[in-house]
Amino acid sequence: MKIVRFILFLIHLGVISLLLLNFLNIVVPPKAFPYLNFLSLAFPVLMVLNLILIIIWVLLWKKRAFFFIIISLFFIKPTSRIINYSPTKKDVSNLKIITFNAHNGKFGRDKIEDFIIKENPDIVFLQEAGSPKLDYKLNNLEYYQISNIVFFYSKFKILNSKEWIIKEQAHINSNDVEIRGKIYRFINVYLEPFYLNKSMVKPSENTERNEIKYKSLIKKMALNFKIHQTQISLARDAIENSPYPIIMAGDFNSVPNSYEYYHLGKNLKDAFEVCGNGSSTSFHDYKFPIRIDYIFTSKEITPISYEVDRSEKLSDHFPVIATFKIK
C-alpha cells in the first residue's frame, strides 16, 4: 500500500508541476518554445486529475492533502476561465453584443439571420462569415465587410474601419463606432485556424500510423502557435493605439490560459470571468470541452451578462451573447 501511495504522490506532483507550467505561457512566446501552449489544452484534464487525487488523499486522511489544496488555490482563476459562477449584476445594461463563428453559413444562412434578428443585438461580430453573397439581412444594423472572413454589424454609426488580412483565413478588423455621443473601438479577431478534422485526432489500430499521425499533428499545431504570435501583435497594435474604450471579440482559435489568451487579453477584462455562469465551452465539433470564442473589454466598460447559447446548432460554434453597461 505504501508503494501505491508513493506512486500516486509522484503522479500528483507531476500533475501539479504541469499545471504550474501553464503560467509560463504569460512570458514564454511560442516562437521561443511553442510546446508550452499544449499545456493550456491539457489544463481541464490535469485539473480533474488534481481534484481526484486530492479527494483520494482526503479519504486516506493524509496531511499531504492540505499541501495540494493550498497549491490548487493558484488554479482558481485559470479554472474560472473555463467554468465560472458569478453573482447576478444589478446594473442595467445598455449594449448587447453577439460574437459568432458562422462556419460560412453551412448550417443555414436563414437560421442564423432569424436567430440574430430575434436576439436584437446592438453589435454583431461574425467570423467565417462566408462570401459577400452571404450578406446577412439583419434589419437596421449597419454593415461593414472587406474580407470574406469577418463581418461587423452595428446599430450605431461606424466612423472608421481598418482591416488586416494577415493570411487567407486570418483576419482582424477594428471599427470605431459612435454610441450616444461617445466613440468606442470594436475589434473583431479571427486568428489562424488549425484546419483539424476528426480523422487527424482519432486513433487507429495501427500503432505506427498513430505515432506518425500525432507527430505530424503536434508539428502542425506548434507552427500555428508561432503564427498566432505574429497575428496577436497586430491586434495589440489596434488595442494599445486606441484613443477609445475597447470591446474585442471573436474566434481566437486558442483556449484559456494559452499564450494567445494572456496576450490578446492583456490589460482587458474577460467578460465571462466577470459575469459568466456555468461552462464557457463554445466549440462543439469535438466532445472535449473547448472555449475559443471570447469577448474582452476595457476596464471602464462593465460586463453585465454572458451566455453561450446552446439552444440550437447554427454552426460548429455556439453564439456568445453578452450585455454591457457603457457610459
Asked whether residue 103 falls in the same domain as residue 200, the answer is yes
Q: Check: CB of residue 104 under 8 Å from CB of residue 326.
A: no
The helix/strand/coil state of 211 is: helix
Per-residue HEC secondary structure of 115-151 comes to HHHHHCCCEEEEECCCCHHHCCCCCCCEEECCCCCCE
Q: What single string gives the DSSP state of each residue in 156-180? A: SEEEEEEEEEEETTEEEEEEEEEET
Q: Are residues 58 and 201 in the same domain?
A: no
Give whole-number Cα distances, 50 to 66, 75, 83, in Å. Answer: 13, 10, 16
In a shared domain, residues 75 and 93: no
Report the 10 Å Cβ neighbour count for 31. 13
Would you give the DSSP letter of residue 197? -
- Cα distance between the two ends of the chain: 63
d(CA 167, CA 105): 21
What span, in angstroms and rounded, lies between the C-alpha atoms of 247 and 153?
Answer: 14
CB 98 within 8 A of CB 123: yes
Question: Do 40 and 71 have their domain in common?
Answer: yes
What is the crossing angle of helices 37-59 and 64-72, to 10°? 150
Clarify whether residues 96 and 72 are in a common domain: no
pTM over 0.85: yes
Half-sphere exposure of 64 (CA within 13 A, CB side): 16
Domain boundary among 27, 49, 80: 80
Alpha-carbon span 294 to 246, nearest angstrom: 14
Count of beta carbons in the 10 Å neighbourhood of residue 257? 25
What is the distance between the alpha carbons of residues 293 and 132, in angstroms, rounded to a whole number? 23
Q: What pLDDT does 134 receive?
A: 55
96 in the same domain as 62: no
- What one-character DSSP code corresponds to residue 104? G
Amino acid identity at 57? W
Residue whose C-alpha is closest to residue 299's, from 262, 316, 274: 274
Task: Select from 23, 49, 80 the last residue of a domain.
Answer: 80
DSSP-derived 3-state class of residue 318? coil
Note whether 102 and 38 are same-domain residues.
Answer: no
- Same domain for 70 and 190, yes or no, is no
- pLDDT < 50 regions, the chain: none
- Specify the amino acid at residue 84: N
Structural domain count, the chain: 2
Percentage helix, strand, coil, to 5, in the chain? 40, 25, 35
Specify the pLDDT at position 149: 83
Domain shared by 194 and 311, yes or no: yes
CATH of the domain at 178: 3.60.10.10
Backbone angles phi, psi at 159, to 5 degrees: -85, -50
Residues 273 and 321 in one domain: yes
Same domain, 66 and 167: no
Domain's final residue, options 23, 47, 80: 80
Same domain, 104 and 14: no
Q: pLDDT of 33-76, one tens digit each?
A: 999 999 999 999 999 999 999 999 999 988 999 999 999 999 99
**Cα distances (angstroms) measured from residue 325 to each of 15, 96, 118, 148:** 40, 9, 21, 31
Closest C-alpha to 296, from 311, 276, 310, 316 = 276
**What's residue 181's pLDDT?**
94
Model pLDDT, residue 312: 86
Range of the domain at 97: 89-325
